[in-house]
Structure 1
Amino acid sequence: MLKNNIEVDVKVKCIENGITQAQLAEKSETSSPYVNRIIKKSEVLNKTFIRMMEELGYDVELTYVKRTEEK
């Protein structure tokens, strides 16, 4: 099971960084509808990977670490 709520996580990180999802999409060189679809359906991780980890007795939890350097 994916323990994170990806939608909330992305929205919080956008607020923390002072950008909108539309701006995030532009910076990511993708479309706003695609970013929205990814966060609404939690398509961040492959479902097969999650099932494999579940079969091994693990849940998946993402940890976000802010980079100290800019790209």
Structure 2
Amino acid sequence: MLKNNIEVDVKVKCIEAGTTQAKLAEDVGTTPSYVNRLIKKNENIVNKTFVQMLETLGYDIELTYVKREEE
């Protein structure tokens, strides 16, 4: 089981960065609707088969976000 709520995580990270999902999409070079679809369908970001394999091995998945140091 993926324990993260990716939709909430992305929204929180956008707020922390002072940006919007639309601006994030522009910066990544895609459309806001595509970013929204990815966020709402967690299995597209974290492969469903990968999650199933780890569940079969007895693991849950938790993503950890680490802010990069500015140079």
Q: Do Structure 1 and Structure 2 share a fold, with TM-score over 0.5?
A: yes
For 1:16 and 1:54, the matched residues in 2 are separated by 32
Identity of aligned residues (%): 71
Give the corresponding residue for 1:68.
69
- State how many pairs are aligned: 70
TM superposition shift of 1:69: 2.5
Alignment of 1:1-71 (within 5 A): 1-42=1-42, 43-69=44-70
Q: Which amino acid aligns with 1:16?
A: E
Report the residue type matching 2:8 in the other structure: V
Q: Distance in 2 between matches of 1:62 and 1:44?
A: 11
Measured on the aligned residues, the alpha-carbon RMSD in Å equals 0.9
1:1-21 per-residue CA deviation (whole Å, 9 max, x = no partner) reads 000000000000000000000
| Structure 2 residue identity aligned to 1:2 | L
Measure how far apart 1:46 and its partner are: 0.4
Runs of 4+ in 1 over 4 A off after TM superposition: none
Give the structure-2-normalised TM-score.
0.94
